[in-house]
Amino acid sequence: AHPSFSHSLKKGLETKSDEKKISTKNDDDCDGLEVVSKVLQSNPIFEAFGNAKSERNDNSSRFGRLTKLHFTKVQKGDVELVINEEESGPIYGSDDTKNSIVPVCSLSGSSFEIFLLEKARVVAHSKSERTFHIFYQLLAAPSAFKKNLFEGFDNATRDSFRYVGDVDTDTIEGMTDAEHFEQTKSALETFGIIGEELHSLMKAVCIVLQLGNLTFEPDPSIDGEGALLVADDELEKLISLMGIGNEEIQNAMTTRLVKARGEEFVARLTPAQSRDSCDALAKEIYSQVVNVLVRKMNKRMQPSHLGEDTDQVKDEKSDEKNIGSISLLDLFGFETFEKNSFEQLCINYANEHLQNRYVLDNFQSVKDEYELEGIDIDFDCSTINNSEILNLVEGRMGLISIMNEECTRPRGNSTSFVYKAKMIHKDSDYLVSKKLHRPWEFGVRHFAGVVTYDATDFVERNTDQLPLDLLECATKCTNSLVSTQFDALLVERQCLMKNTRRKQGAMSTTICSKFRKRLAGLIEHISATKTRYVRCIKPNENRKPRVTDHMVTMRQLGSAGIVTAINMSKNIFPNQLPYDVVWDRFHCLSQTDIDTQLEYKEKTTLLLADLFKNSERFVKGQYTTPYVCGKNKVFFRSGALTKLELDRLPIRSDHMSNLSNSVKTVVHRRTFLVMKRAVIKLQAVYRFHVAQRDYKEKVKASAIVYCWMKRLLMRTKRRKLRENKASIKIQSTWRGFNPQKKFRQQKKAAAMVQRTLKKRRDRQHFHCAFAEVVEAARKQKQMKSLLHKLSSREYPNTSKDELLVECQLMISYLGEQLHLQRAKTSDVQTGMANTKRTVESLQSHNDALEAEKKASKITSSQQTKKILALEEHIKGQEIALLDLKKSNNHLQQKQTMADENHKNECIEMRELLVSQKDELNMELMKEREKRVAESLQFQSLMGLAKEEYEKVISDLQRALEEADESHKDDFNKMLLAMEGGKLKQEELDLANKSLATEKNDLQSDLQSSKKAHSEEVAALGGNLEKLRGDVKVKEGTIRSLQLQVKSLQEIQSMQMDREVTVEKQDEKTCCESWCHCYGFCGDLFL
The pLDDT of residue 294: 94
More reliable by pLDDT, 805 or 676: 676
CA pair distance 94, 101, nearest whole angstrom? 9
Residue type, 256: R
**pLDDT tops 80 at residue 648:** yes
**pLDDT tops 90 at residue 33:** no
Residues sharing a CB contact under 8 Å with residue 346, sequence separation 6 or more, in sequence order = 116, 511, 512, 515
The beta strand positions in 873-1003, using DSSP E, are none
Lowest model confidence (mean pLDDT) among 229-233, 417-421, 746-750, 813-817: 813-817
Helix 271-300 to helix 468-475 angle, to the nearest 10 degrees? 50
Q: Is 66 left (phi over 0), alpha (psi -120 to 50) or beta?
A: beta
Helix 342-359 to helix 387-394 angle, to the nearest 10 degrees? 140
CA pair distance 741, 746, nearest whole angstrom? 9
The pLDDT of residue 1086: 33
More reliable by pLDDT, 360 or 644: 644
Residues across the chain: 1086
Please write the tens of the pLDDT for every residue from 99-154.
Answer: 445 567 888 888 999 888 888 889 888 888 899 999 999 999 999 898 888 888 88
Q: Contact at 8 Å (CB) between 60 and 51?
A: yes
Average pLDDT value for the chain: 77
Q: Contact at 8 Å (CB) between 301 and 113?
A: no
Q: Is 696 left (phi over 0), alpha (psi -120 to 50) or beta?
A: alpha
Q: What is the pairing mode between strands 255-260 and 263-268?
A: antiparallel
**Over pLDDT 70: what percentage of the chain?**
74
b/e code 244-256 from CB counts within 10 Å (16+ = b): beeeebbbbbbbb
The pLDDT of residue 4: 35
pTM of the predicted structure, to 2 decimals: 0.55
Q: Averaged over 219-248, what is the pLDDT?
A: 83
Please write the tens of the pLDDT for every residue from 899-930.
Answer: 787 777 777 777 776 777 777 777 777 777 77
Contacts 24+ apart (CB under 8 A), 987-994: 987/923, 987/927, 988/1059, 988/1062, 989/824, 991/920, 991/923, 991/1055, 992/824, 992/828
Of 808, 285, 333, 783, nearest in space to 536 by CA: 333
**pLDDT tops 70 at residue 664:** yes
More reliable by pLDDT, 562 or 654: 654
Please write the tens of the pLDDT for every residue from 375-405.
Answer: 877 666 666 778 888 888 888 888 888 888 8
The pLDDT of residue 955: 63
Nearest 5°: CA angle at 936, between 935 and 940? 115
Q: Contact at 8 Å (CB) between 38 and 110?
A: yes
Task: Supply the DSSP string of 736-750, one letter for each residue.
Answer: HHHHHHHHHHHHHHH
More reliable by pLDDT, 684 or 781: 684
The pLDDT of residue 314: 40
The pLDDT of residue 1012: 59
More reliable by pLDDT, 1066 or 1085: 1066
Residue 328: beta bridge partners?
A: 67
Task: Supply the DSSP string of 420-436, one letter for each residue.
Answer: HHHHHTTT-SSEE--TT
Sheet containing strand 627-629, strands side by side: 575-578, 633-636, 627-629
The pLDDT of residue 517: 87
Q: What is the pairing mode between strands 431-432 and 64-73?
A: unpaired
The pLDDT of residue 285: 93
Q: Averaged over 478-490, what is the pLDDT?
A: 90
CA atoms within 13 A on the CB side of 454: 8
Residue type, 748: K
Residue type, 813: Y
CA pair distance 454, 438, nearest whole angstrom? 9
The pLDDT of residue 400: 87
- If pLDDT is split at 50, 70 and 90, which confidence band does 256 have? confident
Please write the tens of the pLDDT for every residue from 163-222.
Answer: 988 777 888 888 999 999 999 999 999 999 999 999 999 999 999 999 998 988 888 776
Positive or negative: CA dihedral 436, 441, 443, 449: negative
Q: Contact at 8 Å (CB) between 60 and 47?
A: no
